[in-house]
Structure 1
Amino acid sequence: MTPFIVGLRSSVRDMAFLGTKTLYNRVGHNTGNLAFHAAIDAHLGGNLPSVGWDAPAELINSMGAIGVVPAANQVGAHADYGGLARTFEELKCRLVMIGLGAQTGVDGSIPQVPEGTQAWVRQVASRGIPGTPNISVRGPLTKKVLDHYGLGEQALVIGCPSLFINPDPHLGESIEKNRRLVKRIAVAGGHPQWKHLGKIEASLAAVVTATGGSYVGQSPESAIALTRGEAKVMSEEDVKSCRDYICPSMSIEEFIQWSERHCDVFFDIPGWMEHYRRFDLVIGTRIHGVMLALQAGIPGVCIAHDSRTLELCQTMMVPYVLARDVSGGISREHLSDIFQFNGKAFDENRRVLAKRYFSFLTSNDLKPVNWLGVIARI
């Protein structure tokens, strides 16, 4: 049964010819989305045909027998997918959703999920093989939320498929061997509207300055424009918003020069991972930005600032520090001790999740690549 992706393409090949707004839309408003889309595509053999979420049901139905839906933190009070639920009502193909996450409060409480989003998840769940979970979720908190709404029966905890981009079954041990004195860092840049994380972001940007490091943008559109080298043509309001969050002590002119020297952005995963190989540590509030460092064999630390990032870090044993514990900022000296990691434990946890993921795929009539089975030791 031929699968196809209901979601994004795994990379933007013609990025150099496109405007930033077009690129922003192509990546689903966050370049980090490419990480799990590329992972799923690779796990199912690569170069799968794809169709966007905004496509009409008739087009989706014409794509093939099994639609694979890469998902993110769509379950929460923040989003209503009622329109998508109505489209999915008309689908005739089977569906398998991978990587669904819940967005909850900092205390992990059950969010008020809109009826439209519940209906959307229910439509996906109803299009699986009876008695077989066809929705993989990021962690036990997401499973708890789905259970609360009567949607958990078709769900299985696997983490994020981006954990399995690198085919090396001993990845954790390789990462541990690459631990060294932190002389140069890359930062997985946050969102300018995350004001409560401003001191942390500014402290990391200061280390980037001191070490000749890299500040990698993911979202929103203004951050992508900035890290794409467009500071001189951005609106004054957007430049100031980014400056106030990243380098608040600089003048606008100084910040523009800083962005031209230190900022980067990526629209394909191999290039992003290769870039990280130049650094001793990658750190930031973006879980997928940090995950790509780990997949490249480079030490990475996520600053967990909400239930979404914390759930992923704990499920997949991604090194993390709680934002509340470093709220005053992170110094260059602190970085040498902040990466706490056990390579063997990481590899064993990764093996367990890979085995569960491999079984999930095969039980849904999907054929995973052989090297995923090698990670799972099947």
Structure 2
Amino acid sequence: MKKVLVRAGMSPLDTFSADEMIKRNSIGNNVGNLMYAYSVFRNLTTENVELDADYYRIDPDDANRINETYDAYVIPLANAIRPSFIPALKRYTALIERLKIPVFVIGMGMAFPYEPNVKQERPFDGDVKRFVSAVLEKSNILGLRGQITSDYLSYLGFKEGRDHMVIGCPSMYTFGDNIKIRDTELDTNSAISINMTPAADQKVLKFLNDLSGQYKNLEFTPQDLDEMILTYSGTPFLGGAVNSKVSNYPNSLNSAVYKNNQVKFFLSAPSWIKHMGTIDLSIGTRLHGNVAPILAGTPSIAIPIDARMRELTEYHNFPRVPANEIHEDMKLEELLEKVDVHSVEKNQQKNYENFINFLDKNGIENVYHYNSEGLKMPFDKKLDLVNLKEPLTTITSCDADEMAERLQRNFDIIVPKQEKEKSSNGKKIKAKNKTISKLKNDLNEKTEELNELRELDKNTAKLKNDLDKKTEELNEKNRQNEELNLKVQDMENSRSWKLTKPLRNLGKK
């Protein structure tokens, strides 16, 4: 039996409680990460291969243990090319360089603006190049999320088709090419699922937020860790969407969807997909908030707000509407008329074949030949033995006992987290102060050196002035001497003329 290590905050077979997931940050700050992990586990688990999650541990010193325990390391990545992830990317590079087993990167993307300049020089270009080079030493080709990322790596000197290829998001291949979207007609009783990103344009947020007053069976599906904490305990963790000042975003228990218990935070990808099968339409600015309903056959509308989401929705041909085409007073039915909810079906078979081609190029064993509709995969059989957790609902929907239990558990988690963050921030501040102090000392030294140079310049200038004066005086003396010499010469010539005059006269006689 071969063993493969997979980058994942948790295995789809894990059944952590909500408080344990918060404590461990099993979702990697966004529950959408569970979606593509589910696909990787389902597609790569065979009768001969079993997969283990690495729980987001990145330690180069683990290289020997990984070499001895596993036959390969699969690293699914989302928008890894972004400043905040570069420290982790550098640690992965250090780890990969010490590994002796194959390393496969599946689905790496970038976080650039909607209209990016991929040829713009960026501070992390060198770090990305070193990471990609390290991976190519351990595998044949990298799988990228979209064409914009591919163009960026080509700009860095890597060749498309040889070093990297576009495969989209692996989450879209959870069930192979088996995607069939059902039709839908909306009325006020329709079950609507909305998802949002705080960074979205205000017109988009207002449009989505206002839907809660128009459809009584509406649900909000948050994805971020701080939203998970808010849903679980009502007491948000510092930072992120919940503490943002963004208007028209559900960021507190006073928001309509929280007040009306219309919030569901999913604790596993399979349960998320299953629930989306009961929804009539999903709409929003989140990628995996729209992937889940698509996998369930539910119509969806994506609203891309950046290059990350743009390249994926274009590659997979999601039903989508640009943010600039949405205005506050438009109706959802009007938006639905702008898209073909079946468009995503048209590219799926070709994209899935391309994904399998990528796996084959790297020699990655998979379930392609068995992945047909209704047929259980080896991983499905394992999943059938697991009791998946129900989605998390708001604390205000709980009875008094559960509410008290959540608050206490949250207190036990958040206080140490915030103390740790405070301590970490203190250390960072101390380190920054130390750096500032060193820079200040260096500056003082440079200032002293500069002052010395300025004084030296003054002395040099004075010496130069003195030298110029002496030179002028010398030149004047030389000129006077020349004049004197000329006078002496004239006198000698005159005297010589007078002395030779009698002789000249004698000659004439």
Measured after TM superposition, the shift of residue 125 of structure 1 is 1.5
Q: Please name the residue that 1:357 is paired with.
A: 355
Distance in 1 of aligned mates of 2:17 and 2:91: 33
The answer as to 2:84 corresponding to 1:82 is no
Which range moved further: 2-11 or 282-291? 2-11
8 Å CA contact 2:207–2:327 kept in 1: the answer is no
Q: 1:272 to 1:257 in 2, by over 3 A?
A: closer
Higher relative contact order (CA 8 A, sep 6+): 1
Three-state SS of the structure 2 residue aligned to 1:309 is helix
The answer (yes or no) to whether the contact 1:103–1:308 under 8 Å persists in 2 is yes
- Alignment correspondent of 1:36: 36
Whether contact under 8 Å (1:215, 1:264) holds in the other structure is: yes
Alignment of 1:1-378 (within 5 A): 2-11=3-12, 13-16=14-17, 18-19=19-20, 21-22=22-23, 25-45=25-45, 48-51=51-54, 52-55=56-59, 56-80=62-86, 81-110=89-118, 112=122, 114=124, 115-128=126-139, 132-133=140-141, 135-152=142-159, 153-167=162-176, 169=178, 171=179, 174-175=180-181, 177-181=182-186, 183-191=190-198, 194=199, 196-211=200-215, 212-219=217-224, 221-226=225-230, 228-231=231-234, 233-234=235-236, 241=244, 244-246=247-249, 254-255=254-255, 258-259=258-259, 261-326=261-326, 328=328, 331-343=331-343, 346-370=344-368, 374=372
Distance 1:329 1:161 in 2: 36
Greater fraction of residues in helix: 2
Q: Closer, same or farther in 2 for the Cα pair 1:31/1:235, shift >3 Å?
A: closer
Deviation per residue, 1:82-138 (Å, 9 max, x gap): 23212222111111110011222322211525122321222112111xxx32x1111
Q: In the superposition, relative to structure 1, how do residues 320 and 269 fare at CA in structure 2: closer, same or farther (>3 Å)?
A: same
- In 2, Cα distance between the equivalents of 1:372 and 1:197? 43
Is the contact made by 1:202 and 1:329 (CA closer than 8 Å) also made in structure 2? no
Larger Rg over CA atoms: 2
Higher strand residue share: 1
Residue correspondences, number: 355
Amino acid at match of 1:369: V
Q: Which segments of 5 or more consecutive residues in structure 2 lack a partner in the other structure?
A: 374-509
Give, in angstroms, the shift of residue 285 of structure 1.
0.8
What SS is found at the alignment partner of 2:255? helix
Q: 1:63 to 1:69 in 2, by over 3 A?
A: farther
> Are the structure 2 counterparts of residues 117 and 239 from structure 1 closer, same or farther at C-alpha, using a change threshold of 3 Å?
closer
Deviation at 1:258, TM superposition (A): 3.0
Per-residue deviation, 1:205: 2.5
Shift of 1:338: 4.1
- CA gap of 1:230–1:184, structure 2 versus 1, over 3 A, is same
**Against the structure 1 CA distance between its residues 150 and 240, is the aligned structure 2 distance closer, same or farther, given a 3 Å change threshold?**
closer
Deviation of 1:53 (Å)? 4.0
Change beyond 3 A, Cα 1:28–1:254: closer
With over 3 angstroms needed to count, the CA separation of the structure-2 counterparts of 1:373 and 1:239, relative to structure 1, is closer
Deviation at 1:11, TM superposition (A): 3.4
When residues 85 and 351 of structure 1 are mapped into structure 2, their CA distance, relative to the original with a 3 A threshold, is: same
8 Å Cα contact 1:204/1:329 also seen in 2: no
Runs of 4+ in structure 1 over 6 Å off? 235-238
Identity of aligned residues (%): 21
Query: How far off is 1:73 after superposition?
Result: 1.2
SS class of match (2:223) = coil
Check whether the contact 1:215–1:262 (CA below 8 A) recurs between aligned residues.
yes
Letter in 1 for 2:211: V
SS in 2 for 1:347: helix
Q: Distance in 1 between matches of 2:254 and 2:57?
A: 41
Cα RMSD (Å)? 2.8
- CA deviation digits over 1:57-87, x for unaligned, max 9? 2333233121111111112445322232122
Displacement of 1:223: 1.7
Separation in structure 2 between the aligned mates of residue 241 and residue 116 of structure 1, nearest angstrom: 31
Structure 2 distance, partners of 1:361, 1:53, is 24
Counterpart amino acid of residue 187 in structure 1: I
C-alpha offsets along residues 289-319 of structure 1, whole Å, 9 cap, x if unaligned?
Answer: 1011100000011110011101001101111
| TM-score using structure 2 length | 0.63
How has the CA–CA distance of structure 1 residues 60 and 323 changed in structure 2, closer, same or farther, with 3 Å as cutoff? farther
Tell me, in whole angstroms, the C-alpha distance in 1 between the residues paired with 2:21 and 2:206: 25
Residue 106 of structure 1 contacts residue 307 of structure 1 at CA under 8 Å; is this kept in 2? Answer: yes
Distance 1:253 1:49 in 2: 37
